[in-house]
Amino acid sequence: MHAFPSGTLALDFVGTLRVRRQPVPLEQLSSPMLLDAWFVESGLLDEEPASTEGDLRAAVKLRESIYSLVKARLTGAPLPADAVAVVNRQASGAPELIQLGFGGRALRSGSAAQGLASIARQSVEIIGGDDGALLRECGRSMCTQVYVDRSRGRRREWCAMRTCGNRAKASAYRARHRGTVEKAGV
């Protein structure tokens, strides 16, 4: 199962390489099957697009290009030109097809390349739009998930409260209570 903590599809996609600062980051897209699963679990496509090894390579290349652009935005560095070229090339493709079903539900179909086009287009809107100034990295430094902080007062600290927020709070609580327990001589 893939994780979708950030509330933004393209940034959850970037998060499929987890704990980026660890010596060996966790790769969640290690096979075309896992890429297929991501498309369906994300809701981008209704059916697995039967991704190939080539699609997987393109997906990882797009993901890392988006990440390097986000990182440049976070640090105020100039955007790396090669990453801009990769994202623009993918964004120029046709995105998935979306149609209204007779039952009233939106139906999404397409190939892996179309799914990637959609992710690339969304990342262009984020990085190149007003959201670019709201990009943040999760406050739990192990995590490295990026997100757009649209919260009131821009005070969102975590990629997701349910996971990182609670973990950070629990470890702060333990740290406080360890002190109390030691003082009590238990």
3-class SS at 19? coil
Closest distance to Zn ion from the beta carbon of 151 (Å): 15
Q: How many CA atoms lie within 13 A of 172 on its CB side?
A: 7
Closest distance to Zn ion from the beta carbon of 4 (Å): 12
Q: In this complex, which beta carbon is closest to Zn ion, that of residue 2 or of residue 140?
A: 140
Pairing of strands 26-27, 97-100: unpaired
Closest distance to Zn ion from the beta carbon of 86 (Å): 25
In the complex, which residues of this chain contact Zn ion (CB under 5 A)? 138, 140, 143, 145, 159, 164
Q: At what angle do helices 53-75 and 32-41 cross, to 10 degrees?
A: 60
CB 138 within 8 A of CB 166: no
The kind and range of the H/E element at 181 are helix 166-184
Strand partners, 18: 26
- Extract the tokens encoding 75: 């640090």
Q: In this complex, which beta carbon is closest to Zn ion, that of residue 41 or of residue 157?
A: 157
Closest distance to Zn ion from the beta carbon of 103 (Å): 37
Q: In this complex, which beta carbon is closest to Zn ion, that of residue 16 or of residue 118?
A: 16
Closest distance to Zn ion from the beta carbon of 171 (Å): 13
Closest distance to Zn ion from the beta carbon of 19 (Å): 10
CB 171 within 8 A of CB 153: no
Residue 150: other Cβ atoms inside 10 A? 12
Q: In this complex, which beta carbon is closest to Zn ion, that of residue 117 or of residue 159?
A: 159
3-class SS at 1? coil
Q: In this complex, which beta carbon is closest to Zn ion, that of residue 89 or of residue 167?
A: 167
Q: In this complex, which beta carbon is closest to Zn ion, that of residue 56 or of residue 168?
A: 168
